[in-house]
Amino acid sequence: MLLDEPKRNDIELVEESERMSQDADRVLEEKALVRKIDLWLLPTIWIMYLLSYMDRTNIGNAKVAGMTKDLGMDSNQYSISLIVFFITYVIFEVPSNLLLSRTRPSIFLPVIMTLWGIVTCCMSQVQTYHQLVALRTIVGVLEAGFAPGILLILSSWYKKHEQSKRFAVYISAAVLSGAFGGILAGAITSNLEGAHGLRGWRWLFIIEGSATAGWAIISAFILPDFPANTKRLTERERELAISRLENDNVHTRTEDTPPLTSLQALGQSVRNWRTWLFVAGYMVIVGSSTLSYFYPTLVEGLGYTSHMAQYMVVPIYAVAFVAVGFTGYFSDKYPRQRGAIIACWLSLSMICSIVICVVYNFTARYVLLVFMAAGLWATNGLSLSYAASTFGAMPQETRAVSLALVNALGNLAQIYGAYLFPSTDAPKYLTGFGVISGMCAFGIVVYAAAHVLLRKYVQK
């Protein structure tokens, strides 16, 4: 027996060494897989969202460039042209995500993107306020499937502690689209004014809509589908993609898993209290972020010309871009602190908003606006990754509905947000900043509560 003991120890050491070697090989294999997913997915959706956000917000640049004057629109009519987009956007988000969960993202998303790009081009030909409203309504229907669809894709590919950085990349596209949109709008409206008999704001719709449709066609050949049905990976890579998520308690449907019906998925989602907690929190963030639609108008109040106002919006987005990247990086390192991080950013935005209400120096207000916007943008992507990681254990169809509800009902806030900064309140806009201050305060309470209640769902 004494002779057998060293042999047993040797065998155990060999087995342990083999296990460690296998674990090391799997870690390397998994890292290679994540890099491949990043390469196919992130650049594609980044450009898609960049163009999407430009198409959604270019109406603000068109307004400053003279659209409302040409169409004889008042402040209330401009607000309605914003609202109709969000009404259809909200209504169609859940049905679109249910459809996406049963089909291929590489087909569904490029198709709807091509269509809304074409409709954006058509907006260049509107002659009346009613025509503008009709086309904005159609764009809302088509874009409804995009943002929640991207949320579902990201949550279907990455582990919980990998998501904040990827959501930050996604949201950074919206941030930079604001900066690029301002630069592009300034260049187009000043350099193409009157070209071929068209106003500069009409060229804005033509150029940005054409870019959207063009990239949509390209993305159809790049965008991966879900782990179980993508053609971008080998069979071994698909198996690894599914198993790594299952080990992280992220549910992903395989070919053998029967899908839930739409009613089953909807029922599971609306009965889950976590869904409504994130709906409340995201409504605060999105409602406050309607401020971005009025950046050119607010900056124009500093005394700049309409063209210069477009360029002065850029520093606001530049600082926000840094804040988004910084927040995404550190949130994945400390995933259980996401609720506290969001509450801290909202506190900064609330303080800036309150001070803006009592300080009327234009330069000081501009600086405060920069930091206020940074806080709101930083919380946007983080709140979505926080929701996605919390919903990870849900069936794919239920997660699709829950993410769509968060995004859809959160965007309801943009309906009343469109009325926060009427021209009659210029130049102080006390109503708008006062409401945003209150919403941020409510958001602090929501995410502080989430930090306490949801820690077990976001463990690394």
**Domain-embedded: residue 229:** no
**pLDDT tens, per residue, the chain with 460 residues:** 455 666 666 565 555 555 655 567 778 888 899 999 999 999 999 999 999 888 887 888 888 888 999 999 988 888 888 888 888 988 898 888 888 878 888 999 999 999 999 999 999 999 999 999 999 999 999 999 898 888 888 888 898 888 889 999 988 888 887 777 667 777 888 888 888 888 989 999 999 999 999 999 999 999 998 888 888 888 888 889 888 888 876 666 555 566 778 788 889 988 999 999 999 999 989 888 877 766 766 776 666 666 666 677 788 888 999 999 999 988 988 888 999 999 999 999 999 999 988 887 878 888 888 999 999 999 998 999 899 888 877 888 888 889 889 988 888 877 777 678 777 777 778 888 899 999 999 999 999 999 999 876 554 4
67 HSE (CA, 13 A, CB side): 28
pLDDT for the residue numbered 213: 96
**Domain-embedded: residue 13:** no
DSSP state of 1: -
Q: How many residues does the chain have?
A: 460
**Domain-embedded: residue 185:** yes
Tell me the DSSP string of 70-103: HHT--HHHHHHHHHHHHHHHHHHHHHHHHHHTTS
Q: Residue 142 has which token pair? A: 């088509």
Count CB-CB contacts under 10 A for residue 183.
15
Residue 166 corresponds to which amino acid? R
DSSP state of 421: S
pLDDT for the residue numbered 443: 95
pLDDT for the residue numbered 125: 92
**Domain-embedded: residue 333:** yes
Give the CATH number of the domain where residue 304 resides: 1.20.1250.20
CA atoms 79, 172, 168, 266: torsion sign: positive
Place of tokens 């949109």: 181
How far apart are the C-alpha atoms of 405 and 270, rounded to whole Å?
9
DSSP reduced 3-state for 18: helix
DSSP H or E run through 108: helix 105-122
**Domain-embedded: residue 9:** no
The answer for residues whose C-beta is within 8 angstroms of residue 458's C-beta and 6 or more apart is 160, 335, 336, 338, 386, 389, 390
Domain membership of residue 322 as a residue range: 44-223+267-458
**Domain-embedded: residue 219:** yes
How far apart are the C-alpha atoms of 109 and 48, rounded to whole Å?
9
Q: Are 112 and 63 in contact (CB under 8 A)?
A: no
Structurally, the chain folds into a number of domains equal to: 1
**Domain-embedded: residue 433:** yes
Residue 359 corresponds to which amino acid? V
DSSP state of 198: -
**Domain-embedded: residue 432:** yes
* CA nearest to 58, candidates 193, 215, 148, 186: 186
DSSP H or E run through 437: helix 430-453
pLDDT for the residue numbered 310: 61
Q: Are 51 and 210 in contact (CB under 8 A)?
A: no
